[in-house]
Amino acid sequence: MVTALEVPADRLIAELAKYLKERVPEVRPPIWAAMVKTGVHKEKPPMDPDWWYYRAASILRKLYKAGRPVGVERLRTAYGGRLNRGVAPEHFVKGPGAITRKILQQLEKAGLVEKVPGKGRRLTPAGYSLLDNTAYRIMVSLAKERPELTKYLPGK
């Protein structure tokens, strides 16, 4: 069986973002998402109009990879970066909590994530299934491009 950790992360996240945009009506960027930066360490808002879906897909992959409940603070740390302070040395700052929290709430409404009281959020069986099925489709397309990868497909 192909898992979400066995395929390239960039392809998995792009496919999940496309799926979330087209088939999951609960995941939609709020009105303020067009004007907001994705952290205090960024200078400009994202240029990609679909950045909300890519961030949601990335959060799904991070929850899959963790395999245990993950809280908003840990995700804020994952999406943080180095803050340019002019002539002073750069320091690490956490990413935005509102964006992460809102995406997790939307994924909860979609049934892909569930809350674990006092511990954070984790993927539901539907979330695991979505990521694994997407990973399988990606592996099939990779096997068409590179035939030596067919040995990793089930039943081959």
User: Which tens digit of pLDDT belongs to each residue from 101-143?
Assistant: 999 999 999 999 999 999 999 999 999 999 999 999 999 999 9
Angle at 145 between CA 142 and CA 146, to 5 degrees: 85
Residue with tokens 């994952």: 78
56-69 per-residue burial string, b: 16 or more CB within 10 A, e: under 16: bbbbbbebbeeeeb
pTM of the entire structure? 0.94
Confidence of residue 58 (pLDDT cuts 50, 70, 90): very high
Domains of the chain: 9-124 (1.10.10.10)
Distance separating alpha carbons of residues 10 and 88, to the nearest angstrom: 34
**Chain-wide mean pLDDT for the chain?**
94
Residue 152 has pLDDT above 80, yes or no: no
